[in-house]
Amino acid sequence: MNLLVVGSVALDTVETPYGKVEKALGGSAVYFSVSASYFTKVGVVAVIGQDFPEEHVQFLKSRNIDLRGLRREPGLTFHWRGRYSSNLNEAETLDTQLNVFEIFHPLIPEEYREAALVFLANIDPELQRNVLEQVTHPQCTICDTMNFWIGGKLRELKETLQRVDILIINEGEVRQISQEYNLVRAYQKIASYGPRILVVKQGSYGALLFTPSSIFSAPAYPLEKVLDPTGAGDSFAGGFTGYLARSQKISEDELRRAVIYGSVMASFAVEDFSLERLKKLTLKEIEERFAAFRRLTQF
């Protein structure tokens, strides 16, 4: 096992100006693992309910994703319902039903414990730390979080961050956790919490990578049509971490390329609803878009 992800598997009901899906496949661990599966072998630790369609399980298996850590519990699958207005930048949450996710206690299967890379998707920081206690000397730990935990469990989150190498969060969360508007100063503060490396997701503006020795700025791919931004951040993290797991080297150069592969995967994810675009993706398309990012930035 190269890469382990702990996060949510969900059924999402999403409405955008371009359409609507009902109880479609979603969740951070799903977007992450499907995206990463184009680069490496991924093991998933997550929980689903009795209602979770078998076809989705089969799809994940078809992507060669290891599901030994996916447990089916009595009850319903985590369900999120949201809506995007015309600028597609911010989701309005209409309903959240945690269901089986409410009692989720990640138990890392024996076979996953020596994973080289561990991605902690956006879950309770106490659970994230609990995962880190179950794995043995990972080469690199990568972590996501959100405003809800920064506001409500900051002390626990900071304890988790002490053991994290790379933090991947969005711009607003960077400012909230650091209490710094300026991103250069915000990185300095966040590095003092633990993570040496910070990736700032900026939606349609791209992403910034801060390391102790440099800053890297990556654009977003200018798409003519974005159908559904759900899962863009987790698809980014999946491409980023999946690429690092494949390269087995966390150097400055590889981190930069990983950010571009993350951006590539996010750009595909938003081209259709749910996992529809990622399902149909080919390695050739991924490499072509990587090349397009070069043309987009070269001067």
Summarize as ranges the residues that interact with a copy of itself (CB under 8 A). 86-88, 181-185, 202, 205-206, 208, 214-220, 222-226, 253, 256-257, 259-260, 294-299
How far is CA 170 from its chain centroid?
A: 11
Centroid of chain to Cα 97: 20
Q: Which residues contact 71 (CB under 8 A, 6 or more apart)?
A: 46, 47, 48, 107
- Residue 159 vs 254, nearer CB to a copy of itself: 254
Residue 240 CB, shortest distance to a copy of itself, in Å, is 13
C-beta of 295: minimal distance to a copy of itself in Å? 7
Determine the straight-line distance between the first and last CA of the chain, rounded to whole angstroms: 40
Query: Would you say 253 and 11 are in contact if contact means Cβ atoms under 8 Å apart?
Result: no
* Tokens standing for residue 6: 């702990």
CB of residue 98 vs a copy of itself: minimum separation in angstroms?
33
**What does the buried/exposed string (b/e) look like for 117-144 if buried means 16 or more CB atoms within 10 Å of the residue's CB?**
bbbbbbbbbebbbbbbebbeebebbbbb
Nearer to a copy of itself, 58 or 299 (CB): 299
Q: Which residues pair with 43 in a beta bridge?
A: 4, 66
Identity of the residue, 155 or 299, whose beta carbon is nearer to a copy of itself in the bound complex: 299
Least CB distance to a copy of itself at residue 145 (A):
22
CB of 265 to a copy of itself, least distance (A): 15
**Residue number with CB closer to a copy of itself (182 or 248):** 182
Give the nearer residue to a copy of itself in terms of CB position, either 18 or 59. 18
DSSP assignment, residue 296? H
